[in-house]
């Protein structure tokens, strides 16, 4: 396959840069949110899991800044978002907050974005890293009926299988 000449005009889509970003997954996630929530403006999203090493989260947060989306972050100690991403969100005046407990924010959410821990990237085997997992039906008791759970896949044990067949689960949904 040939190279695209740099002097040619036209749009190009950056497909990521290794471990830092995953813009094509972000486009999929934005489309899914538009499909399930009808409007992206003013949504509230919680990102749960390994936010430091999950490149889908990095790209998704940058895109959320374009739509005034309120962000909630739930991550084990040491696995929060990189400072560059937080600085970008601050510059764009995006509301965000950090939480240790999903139960305190679940009632405010439109989207719950769960990621896997990627234990191969952890430098610590501190068992408290796993306190957020798995997401269980009990966590969803106070969730609004329109909440959708997204996951970039592949999935490990971060979502209890009992959630898979609820109206909240949107990670395996395919259009006919």
* pLDDT 10s digits, 53-67: 887 888 899 898 899
Query: Distance between terminal CA atoms of the chain?
Result: 33
Question: What's the predicted TM-score (pTM) here?
Answer: 0.83
Assess whether pLDDT exceeds 70 at residue 113: yes
C-alpha to C-alpha distance for 98 and 73, rounded to whole angstroms: 5
User: DSSP states of 17-61 as a string?
Assistant: -TTS--HHHHHHHHHHHHHHHS--TT-EEEEES-TTT-HHHHHHH
In the sheet with 111-114, reading across from the earlier edge strand, the strands are 96-99, 70-74, 44-48, 111-114, 148-150
What domains sit in the chain, N to C, each tagged with a CATH number? Answer: 23-163 (3.40.50.1370)
C-alpha to C-alpha distance for 3 and 5, rounded to whole angstroms: 6
Assess whether pLDDT exceeds 60 at residue 1: no
User: DSSP states of 57-83 as a string?
Assistant: HHHHHHHHGGGT-EEEEE--TT-S--H
* pLDDT at residue 2 in the model: 46
* pLDDT 10s digits, 11-46: 555 555 555 665 778 888 888 989 999 899 999 999
Assess whether pLDDT exceeds 80 at residue 7: no
């Amino acid at each position: 396959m040939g190279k695209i000449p740099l002097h040619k005009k036209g749009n190009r889509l950056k497909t990521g840069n290794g471990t830092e970003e995953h813009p094509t997954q972000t486009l999929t996630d934005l489309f899914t949110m538009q499909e399930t929530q009808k409007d992206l403006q003013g949504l509230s999203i919680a990102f749960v899991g390994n936010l430091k090493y999950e490149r889908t989260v990095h790209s998704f947060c940058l895109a959320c800044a374009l739509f005034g989306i309120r962000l909630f972050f739930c991550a084990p100690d040491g696995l929060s978002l990189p400072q560059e991403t937080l600085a970008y969100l601050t510059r764009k005046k995006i509301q965000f907050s950090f939480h240790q407990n999903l139960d305190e924010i679940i009632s405010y959410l439109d989207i719950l974005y769960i990621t896997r821990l990627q234990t191969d990237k952890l430098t610590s085997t501190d068992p408290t890293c796993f306190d957020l997992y798995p997401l269980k039906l009990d966590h969803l008791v106070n969730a609004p009926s329109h909440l959708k759970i997204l996951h970039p896949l592949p999935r490990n044990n971060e979502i209890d299988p009992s959630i898979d067949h609820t109206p909240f689960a949107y990670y395996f949904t395919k259009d006919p």
